[in-house]
Homo-oligomer: A and B are copies of this chain.
Amino acid sequence: MIKHTIILQPSGSRGQVDEGTSVRTAARELGVEIESICAENATCGKCMVLIEEGRFEKYNVDSQQAHLSPVGTEERAYLERRPKLLKSKGWEIGQVRLSCQSKILGDVLINVPEESRGNKQIVRKSASNRPIEIKPAIRKYLVTMAPPNLERPIADWERLAKGLETSMQLVRGVDAKVPRWFDMNIDYQCLRTLSKTLRDAKWSVTVSVWNDKEVIAVQGGYHEESYGAAVDIGSTTVALYLCNLRTGELLAAESEMNPQIVYGEDVMSRIQYAIEYPDGLEKLHKAIISTLNKLLSKAAHEAKIKLNEILEMVLVGNSTMHHVLLNLHPKDLGLAPFVPTIHKSVDIKARELGLHINPSGNIHILPTIASFVGADTSAMILAEEPHKQDENWLLIDVGTNAELVLGNRKRLVCTSTPTGPALEGAHVEYGMRAAPGAMERVHIDEVTLEPKYKVIGIEGWNTDHAEFKGHVKGICGSAIIDAVAELFRAGIVDSRGKFKKTLESRRVREGESGWEYVIAWTEETSIGRDIPITQQDVRQIQLAKAALFTAARTLLKRSNLQNPDKVILAGGFGSFIDKEKAMLIGLIPDCELENVYAVGNAAGDGARIALLNIEKRNEIDAVTRNVERFELPTDPDFQNQFMLATSFPHMSEPFEHIAHLIPNRVVDPMAKNFMR
């Protein structure tokens, strides 16, 4: 057999292949996947390549010897129908070939453009900036069949399955483990319309296959894109991301308030609601389903696709949201010994949950880890991948409840702790959500004890210009952390959180409910009152940060670690707080500041990853099976630790990285036997 050399750019892969091999097959042999969904029918154009050196007949008629087989009828038809596409890419018709159609007859240098490469990836914001490989659960194949006749009256499904086996093999390569036609299945609802679809489409259809084993959609003609939605169901906000499953592209992001909020602000009160009212669970369940359907409609409208074209959803949420979504009673999540109904990920047909994507579509719900460490935490692990690290990473998702995961490739431990709503600006006297008018940054001069601040929606500090006057509505979570840290740094409160009553400042005063520090005078506000930080507010933050810190310390102790190598803050809260101030008040354990990352909605990212890469689903199922769970109250030292942790900064911590900020370092003699 005559052999020729093929070199592929930009990978630089090169090798000898048999004469007559198609460029696509040759590339696969050299480890370069080139896309195709039309089963090498010269229909999809996904496998276009550029010939850098080497010639072929028809367009290069002067060539003495062709290095590639001539352009055939179907290929020419395909290329000549698309002058605009070629022009937009800057490609010329004599240079572009469909790699499935071009057979190698001599040495060639081929450029595989980005859009033709298989194994697509997308890059996300994360602590590791690791790209995500696109391996969706749903793949599409063009199947063209001979119509049935009296000699071969084989049934519609079997006719399709045989064609599909051939297409899958052509697209995936002969080595791929493609199921035999008689082992393939078709979803029942999809089967119901199969006969009509095949006939209306004159026996040429695009088949969507889920997980290499079940046909879930059959569309007449040729269609290349399929769509999926990733959803993060928060107690407060539900966020949906509509993605193109082939390219990974984000087509629409929509969010809505979680309507369950009318039945209770936090998960415990919703669990309570489900326990108290016989139809409580049903109401909670229906509320979230209808919100999901609303989000789906909005996103489909935005992306200009039909709901029926959405073929899969991946959902995450805390264990209570998970249970309510699945219509599982959340009672035992809230009662000792606090166990979920199920950890394992759940796959369920869209129609069974009443979600208005394609009724044959799959709904995948990520695994839960514990009653208060839910599928959102699983998603965070999947997004940040502590289980692939040599270093020990501490992941914290801060909300009303905080979930913490610590460890590396050898061991992961987790816990959760109620932090109360203070860190999100609630239950603080003038606290509010992050919205226009909310104070978001605070600085206090340690000599004059005068503050300056920033407000959402207005540029710069309030001391820079007069625009601020009359605009301050309240204080959001990040500003409360700032304010409390600054009160401590400026020496206004001591390390135990008590206001010093001897300071020379009209801002420090005894208010109606005790001592307080006025951060904005009446004329600066839109509410017609002074806005103070009260002793009670400081106390709320102390309790919240003590809970978080004690949880982190417990995990570190259980793992025999002093400090984490990295701290990763997930959730909206983490994105806005000042890392230095957070460490100053002892919200997070001591760590190099540059190793503290805020990664935004890691749970949403994890949901998207699981949506775009089916292998990640098995990965996170296996990882979560081995995560060790600790219930804090079962730790014998818990109460003692918690009390110690209420101080600023934690008395037993060296806090080397923020030492310069601490005014009067106090080391409490009680701390000697502290946990570390």
Bound-state Cα–Cα, A151 to B338, Å:
11
Bound-state Cα–Cα, A590 to B630, Å:
80
Determine the residue in chain B with the shortest Cβ distance to A319. Answer: B155
The number of chain A residues touching the other chain, given as a range, is 35 or more
Residues of chain B with a CB closer than 8 A to A191's CB: 326, 328, 341-342, 346
Q: Can you list, as one digit per residue, whether each of A632-664 has a CB less than 8 Å from chain B (1) or not (0)?
A: 011000000000000000000000000000000
Asked if A156 and B195 sit within 8 Å, CB to CB, the answer is no
Asked if B344 and A158 sit within 8 Å, CB to CB, the answer is yes
Bound-state Cα–Cα, A196 to B342, Å:
13
Asked if B195 and A154 sit within 8 Å, CB to CB, the answer is no
Taking the complex as formed, is A73 at the interface, i.e. its CB lies under 8 A from any CB of chain B? no
Taking the complex as formed, is A188 at the interface, i.e. its CB lies under 8 A from any CB of chain B? yes
Asked if B343 and A192 sit within 8 Å, CB to CB, the answer is no
Asked if B196 and A329 sit within 8 Å, CB to CB, the answer is yes
Bound-state Cα–Cα, A158 to B156, Å:
41
Asked if A344 and B157 sit within 8 Å, CB to CB, the answer is yes
Asked if B150 and A337 sit within 8 Å, CB to CB, the answer is yes
Taking the complex as formed, is A629 at the interface, i.e. its CB lies under 8 A from any CB of chain B? yes
Q: Can you list, as one digit per residue, whether each of A311-343 has a CB less than 8 Å from chain B (1) or not (0)?
A: 000000000000000111101100011111111
Bound-state Cα–Cα, A331 to B150, Å:
16
A182's contact among B148, B149, B151, B625, by CB below 8 Å, is which?
Answer: B625
| Interfacial residues of chain A within 363-399, with CB under 8 A of chain B in the complex | 368, 370-371
Asked if B342 and A156 sit within 8 Å, CB to CB, the answer is yes
Residues of chain B with a CB closer than 8 A to A527's CB: none
Q: Can you list, as one digit per residue, whether each of A84-97 has a CB less than 8 Å from chain B (1) or not (0)?
A: 00000000000000
Q: Can you list, as one digit per residue, whether each of A176-202 has a CB less than 8 Å from chain B (1) or not (0)?
A: 000000100010100110111001000
Taking the complex as formed, is A352 at the interface, i.e. its CB lies under 8 A from any CB of chain B? yes
Copies in the complex: 2
Asked if A338 and B154 sit within 8 Å, CB to CB, the answer is no
Asked if A341 and B157 sit within 8 Å, CB to CB, the answer is yes
| 10 residue pairs from A and B, CB less than 8 Å apart | A150-B631, A153-B370, A153-B631, A155-B341, A158-B343, A182-B625, A188-B346, A192-B327, A195-B331, A196-B329
Asked if A195 and B332 sit within 8 Å, CB to CB, the answer is yes
Taking the complex as formed, is A621 at the interface, i.e. its CB lies under 8 A from any CB of chain B? yes
Bound-state Cα–Cα, A188 to B328, Å:
10
Within the complex, the shortest CB–CB distance from A363 to chain B, in Å, comes to: 10
Taking the complex as formed, is A503 at the interface, i.e. its CB lies under 8 A from any CB of chain B? no
Taking the complex as formed, is A174 at the interface, i.e. its CB lies under 8 A from any CB of chain B? no
Taking the complex as formed, is A348 at the interface, i.e. its CB lies under 8 A from any CB of chain B? yes
Asked if B329 and A195 sit within 8 Å, CB to CB, the answer is yes
Known: A188-B348, A188-B352. A341 touches B148 (CB 8 A): no
Known: A188-B346, A328-B191, A621-B182. A634 touches B158 (CB 8 A): no
Interface centre among A148, A154, A327, A341 (most CB of B within 10 A): A341
Bound-state Cα–Cα, A331 to B188, Å:
18
Bound-state Cα–Cα, A196 to B323, Å:
14
A153's contact among B157, B194, B341, B371, by CB below 8 Å, is which?
Answer: B371
Residues of chain B with a CB closer than 8 A to A631's CB: 150, 153
Within the complex, the shortest CB–CB distance from A373 to chain B, in Å, comes to: 10
